[in-house]
Amino acid sequence: MIPSAGEAVALHRKYGSSETIVEHCRTVAAVAGVLVGAFRARGVEVDERAVAAGAMLHDIGRSKVQTFMHGLEGAEIIQREGVDKEVVEIVRRHVGAGISPGEAKGLGLPPFDYIPRTLEERIVCFADKMVDSTRVRPFEKEVQRFVAKGHDVDRLRALKRSLEEELGEDPETLVLEKLKATP
Ligand SMILES: [Fe+2]
């Protein structure tokens, strides 16, 4: 099952997500939608429904936990709800720029490669990094945050570069141009 936006919101309500989280997810879905449109315009196949559902549900795990565990938590919630695996994996792999198996071990996460790989997983992960709470903001702001926290900036930049190479243009510029009116 791939939930519609309305069904995704109903799931958020069921698990007690805050309004801010629901609004954050809506904004990430808008950013991801711009990217899906751009890829499609270039003839690249993207599962639009999976991206939309993944974006709408990516932070549902924050209803339970605020740490890096929320990706896994969210994935488990929606898996139990019968959501398609493709969407479950988008949610599982959206945290930061992904978590490697080695890092997962150090963090006490179940051993798994949590780095976004499919185009759909990378689109949602990247879109999330361009949204601070409910505002669209430059990707560079997230890079600065990564630097301040000592996270792997190279992986974050590689995420953007991978999309840029496949898209043939800068995904950040595209999003900022299309969504500059977002409050
Ligand atoms: Fe998240």
Instruction: Tell me the per-residue pLDDT of 68-116, one tens digit each, with 9 for 90 and over.
Output: 999 999 999 999 999 999 999 999 999 999 999 999 999 999 999 999 9
In the reported structure, the alpha carbon of residue 68 is separated from the centroid of ligand 1 by a whole-number distance in angstroms of 8
List beta partners, residue 132. 135
> In the structure encoding, which two tokens stand for residue 80, read together?
């139990």
**Residue 72 included in any domain:** yes
**Average pLDDT, stretch 15-42?**
98
In the reported structure, the alpha carbon of residue 41 is separated from the centroid of ligand 1 by a whole-number distance in angstroms of 28
Kind of pairing between the strands at 135-136 and 131-132: antiparallel
Domain enclosing residue 96, as ranges: 5-178
Please state, in angstroms and rounded to a whole number, the distance separating the CA atoms of residues 161 and 176.
Answer: 16
pLDDT at 180 over 90: no
In the reported structure, the alpha carbon of residue 58 is separated from the centroid of ligand 1 by a whole-number distance in angstroms of 6
pTM: 0.96
In the reported structure, the alpha carbon of residue 59 is separated from the centroid of ligand 1 by a whole-number distance in angstroms of 5
In the reported structure, the alpha carbon of residue 173 is separated from the centroid of ligand 1 by a whole-number distance in angstroms of 22
The DSSP secondary-structure symbol of 98 reads: B
Number of domains in the chain: 1
In the reported structure, the alpha carbon of residue 10 is separated from the centroid of ligand 1 by a whole-number distance in angstroms of 18
**Residue 183 included in any domain:** no
Tell me the CATH number at 152.
1.10.3210
